[in-house]
A = this chain, B = another copy of it.
C-alpha cells in the first residue's frame, strides 16, 4: 500500500477491534471520500442467506465517519445516520462508498452508497446519510457527552 493517506486510514481501521472482527479494509481514501470493503462470509449473514442488516449499517457507520472525519481534518464523533435498505445483499463482498456532501467548520454531512459485489458485477443494496461532528477540546465541552 504505497498511498500514505490510505495506509493511515487502514491503520485507524485496524485499531478498531470490531472492524478487525468483520474484516473491513479501505480500498480508496482521500479527504472526504472513502471506499470501505467487507469480504462476505457465512457468519455475516442472517437466517435467509443474505447479509445481515447490521453488517450493512456497520459499513455505513464506518464509511460515513471516515468520509466526514477526513473532510473535517480533526477528531470527530459520529452524530448519527439514516440507512434505507433497497435490496437484499448477497455476493463476494460489500462495498461502502461514502463522501462528504457538505463540510462546515465543525460538522460534515455525508452520504454513503452500499453495493454487493461478485467479481466485477455490483448492485446497490442500501443508501445512507449522516452527520459527523468535530470533538471540541477540552473533552468536557464535547458535544453530546
Contact = CB atoms under 8 A, between A and B. Distances in A.
B133 A109 contact: no
Chain A contact residues, majority secondary structure: mixed
A124 interface: yes
B144 A16 contact: no
Please state the number of chain copies in the assembly: 4
B129 A82 contact: yes
A7 interface: no
Contacts of A109: 80, 84, 86, 127, 144
B81 A102 contact: no
A106 B44 CA distance: 28
Interface residues of A, number: 61
A119 interface: no
Contacts of A54: 18-19, 22, 54, 57-59, 61-62
A19 B144 CA distance: 29
20 contacts: A16-B52, A17-B45, A21-B21, A52-B58, A54-B54, A55-B58, A77-B85, A77-B88, A79-B85, A80-B109, A80-B126, A80-B131, A84-B129, A84-B131, A86-B102, A101-B113, A105-B140, A111-B127, A129-B129, A133-B143
